[in-house]
Amino acid sequence: MSYIALKHLHMNLAALSGLLFLVRGIWMLSDSSRLQARWVKIAPHLVDTLLLASAIGLAVWSRQYPGQFPWLTAKVAALLAYIVLGSIALKRGRTRGVRGAAFAAALACFAYIVAVALTKNPLVLF
């Protein structure tokens, strides 16, 4: 697989991961029983595992690592925040208000990650 193919795979997996999170968040806010479907519990984990593997592959291939490049460090930090907020939004939030606020914040983190990836600038918002 070429670097460009791996990069496109990573971008497509990121888009799919974000879409799955958005759909699950909407279903969570509407108390949909669809959240209990087997594929909804499996597919996001599969996609996110492949997304992480492609990210590691890109880092190794390009020799660009977090800590070495500020934009990549910012992406990893935002990813960790996204994971924590997503967990609160979809599982651990005790009230609908907490889950909704965490969902909105997680979506903002996702948007920041995409913006940093496109611009290679951790200060993209300023």
- Compute the chain's Rg from CA coordinates: 15
Q: Under 8 Å CB-to-CB from 116, ≥6 apart: which residues?
A: 71, 74, 75, 78, 122, 124
**pTM for the model:** 0.92
User: Tens place of pLDDT for every residue, the chain, 126 residues?
Assistant: 899 999 999 999 999 999 999 999 999 999 999 999 999 999 999 999 999 999 999 999 999 989 999 999 999 999 999 999 999 999 999 999 999 999 999 999 999 999 999 999 999 977
Query: Reduced to 3 states, what is the DSSP secondary structure of residue 102?
Result: helix
Domain boundaries, the chain: 3-119
**Measured distance CA(48)–CA(16) in Å, rounded:** 9
Which amino acid does the sequence have at 24? R
